Chain A
């Protein structure tokens, strides 16, 4: 976080700091991102428990740490969302950028909390309070009305000054708390030891009869160091308002994303691909200038009717300009053809490098990087012909039905992110077929006929027992009837009986007169071929 200034250097090394705090940032972030009104009851869930909730929800009794059910019972109108730390950072980024516009030297402590060196801004704006007021005005313009600012001698004291503004009520209500220079130790004096966030030390000090930071700060620094070690010594300096950290300004990251606006909106994909061509080149070129390559790309499309399409695209190697263009096109066409028209015109295409890696790690070797590269180029060519989802790699997943056990993942997508591969194949799947795997698993089950000696369709009764015995069989797409040589079944399969999408069926294995073996399904009195052992 901060640079390690020589620990316990003599004298006052701490910098006077302005700390900006946005209370409930995770909530603010998601409200801003989803454009939900501020007074809507909303809770963020992390690991099944409420992680944060909006003020409206808090009024109804929702608290951090509640189970989801309990929170929903207390506040029936509650909107429940999953907590996403990335979203916090993403939404805070424009705030930091806006602050950097008016005062330099911003350090991002965590989303919702950032430190600014006071010296420069206070001289420029003619005083610390005036600088803080200018900052508040900027944030209000961004729509952040709840921001609070504390100014003190150290980042630690400044953070608690910002938090302390919450206790001000009535006429004294003010989002800014300025602790006068040299007054930080006195300001912190009445705080309980818990604010140090050192649980072991806190317990120990309490047993020694020390209950507040003031009492702790009154101890001699050398004694504290000898008795409590380095950890204690750092905490002691914090309590004295002499934080060992100082504000380390971040270097604003280079602007890597590329957005293109279209006026008037474009309605044809080929038009749009042509218009975005140079932007895609610029996107890749800009990354290359900073020595980076993009491995995960986010494409955001805005349409005339206000729809936003947002999708992450992965790449087995890294994106070049053609790849970027292909992804934009695929996202536009969905499953349709290249010449396919759009529902409404596209007004804006925005490409964001979601994950970047060092160019050096991806450089081609002197003799190329081997066959994988040529394979990738070839497959990318086929993908640009047929679409992203047409070139697949396969893996085996768990499942009872043979089709469920086969999972296709488009070339270039990571198998880790695919929910289908989550079905573990190593788990026991009662009802799966023993013996050799059939070589043909029909994409769509094929209709067949299994007849008894009387010529009627074979069926099972309500108890799952065969009523008549299979004697003749006609394979898919054929009208000939063949004698059944061997057969076995019924093997009942009941999938998700608790769910309307569940199914109940009976499986059979059957060898016909030609020696062909089939795996058959009997569902709703209708016979289907699931697979063939050809």
Chain B
């Protein structure tokens, strides 16, 4: 592989360039000088950098609950959140996990204008939960990422996302309370695995109750994580 990258054939080197660039992008991340957004402590432990990064993109593979739990931190501390292109979003579950409905904007149907709408919402809210269309290209994702970094917002995608900081997934669901023909769902235990873009993965075993967290640090002026006058960001050493 290493030999191939330095091939002399011009056509091949063109391809190699983009390959290299992609590799650099992947390893670089967006962590230089970035700040942490409030994150549920249980998830902060397994995310690279110790929590959600402003300007970061995360993909959640198979669990809406997990995605909502990521939203709860910024929302609980006064940020505005947006859910784009997910008509099946359950408002009740979101409220239970600690998302403030007054500061939640839903755009369930975006049709073909997903990129435009998402880019516009990056300017407005601090954290976006979305289901990316399958057609999204690497360059669109990179442009959106630059915008996120500039605005200090974060994006959580249900399903895959090119160049995400971490891929989170849920496995080993164990439900309590439901029998065979009796009872009802009461408790849930699961394992959450976060795979960072450098390939390292960490996982934790949690119960649903542990995803709920109160007592977020309050920001004065709603969504301003950028407003350094009011909010002293936690600098993270790379």
Question: Hey, which bits of chain A sit against chain B, CB under 8 A?
Answer: 370-372, 374-375, 378-379, 381-382, 385-386, 390-396, 402, 405-406, 408, 411, 433-443, 466, 469, 486-489, 509, 511, 514-517, 531-534
Determine the distance from Cα of A487 to Cα of B62 in the docked complex, in whole angstroms. Answer: 22
Q: Is B173 an interface residue (CB 8 A)?
A: yes
Residues of A within 8 A of B95 (CB): 396
Known A395-B101, A533-B185; contact A486-B178, beta-carbon cutoff 8 A: yes
Verify B80–A385 contact, CB threshold 8 A.
Answer: no
Residues 33-82 of B at the A interface (beta carbon under 8 Å): 62-65, 68, 80
Verify A394–B106 contact, CB threshold 8 A.
Answer: yes
Residues of A within 8 A of B91 (CB): 394-396, 405-406
A357 to chain B, nearest CB (A): 22
Verify A393–B106 contact, CB threshold 8 A.
Answer: yes
Determine the distance from Cα of A395 to Cα of B104 in the docked complex, in whole angstroms. Answer: 10
Known A375-B124, A488-B184; contact A392-B178, beta-carbon cutoff 8 A: no
Q: Is B182 an interface residue (CB 8 A)?
A: yes
Determine the distance from Cα of A402 to Cα of B92 in the docked complex, in whole angstroms. Answer: 9
Contact of B90 among A371, A440, A489 (CB under 8 A): A440
Known A371-B224, A386-B107, A392-B105; contact A531-B90, beta-carbon cutoff 8 A: yes
At the interface with chain A, which of B3-11, B22-30, B114-122? B114-122
Residues 164-215 of B at the A interface (beta carbon under 8 Å): 170-175, 177-186, 188, 190, 208
Q: Is B235 an interface residue (CB 8 A)?
A: no
Q: Is B108 an interface residue (CB 8 A)?
A: yes
Contact of A440 among B64, B106, B116, B175 (CB under 8 A): B64
Residues of A within 8 A of B183 (CB): 488
Known A386-B110, A441-B90, A531-B90; contact A515-B101, beta-carbon cutoff 8 A: no
Verify B88–A442 contact, CB threshold 8 A.
Answer: yes
What is the chain A residue whose CB lies nearest that of B170? A534
Show 18 residue pairs from A and B whose CB-CB distance is below 8 angstroms, ordered by the A residue: A371-B223, A379-B124, A381-B120, A382-B120, A385-B113, A386-B109, A393-B102, A402-B92, A405-B92, A406-B92, A411-B105, A435-B186, A437-B90, A437-B92, A439-B63, A466-B181, A487-B181, A514-B173
Verify B124–A509 contact, CB threshold 8 A.
Answer: no
Contact of A509 among B87, B108, B178 (CB under 8 A): B178
Verify A408–B121 contact, CB threshold 8 A.
Answer: no
Verify B88–A515 contact, CB threshold 8 A.
Answer: no
Q: A394-B91, A509-B178 are in contact. List 19 more A-B contacts (CB 8 A).
A: A372-B222, A382-B107, A382-B124, A385-B113, A390-B107, A390-B108, A392-B106, A393-B102, A394-B104, A394-B106, A405-B91, A436-B208, A441-B88, A486-B179, A487-B180, A488-B178, A514-B173, A517-B178, A517-B185
Verify B110–A443 contact, CB threshold 8 A.
Answer: no
Verify B175–A517 contact, CB threshold 8 A.
Answer: yes
What is the chain B residue whose CB lies nearest that of A389? B109
What is the chain B residue whose CB lies nearest that of A444? B87
Q: Is B125 an interface residue (CB 8 A)?
A: yes
Residues of A within 8 A of B102 (CB): 393
Residues of B within 8 A of A402 (CB): 90, 92
What is the chain A residue whose CB lies nearest that of B123? A378
Determine the distance from Cα of A421 to Cα of B124 in the docked complex, in whole angstroms. Answer: 27
Residues of B within 8 A of A466 (CB): 181
What is the chain A residue whose CB lies nearest that of B209? A436
Residues 129-180 of B at the A interface (beta carbon under 8 Å): 170-175, 177-180
B56 to chain A, nearest CB (A): 21
A46 to chain B, nearest CB (A): 35
B213 to chain A, nearest CB (A): 15
Residue-wise interface mask of B (87-99) relative to A, using a CB-CB cutoff of 8 A (1 in contact, 0 not): 1111111011000
Determine the distance from Cα of A534 to Cα of B86 in the docked complex, in whole angstroms. Answer: 14
Verify B124–A374 contact, CB threshold 8 A.
Answer: yes
A171 to chain B, nearest CB (A): 71
Verify A385–B108 contact, CB threshold 8 A.
Answer: no
Residues of B within 8 A of A372 (CB): 222
Verify B90–A385 contact, CB threshold 8 A.
Answer: no
Residues of B within 8 A of A440 (CB): 64, 88-90
B194 to chain A, nearest CB (A): 17
Known A439-B68, A534-B62; contact A408-B96, beta-carbon cutoff 8 A: no
Most chain B CB within a 10 A radius of its CB, from A382, A438, A443, A515: A382
Verify B105–A379 contact, CB threshold 8 A.
Answer: yes
Q: Is B221 an interface residue (CB 8 A)?
A: yes
Residues of A within 8 A of B101 (CB): 393-396
Residues of B within 8 A of A516 (CB): 173
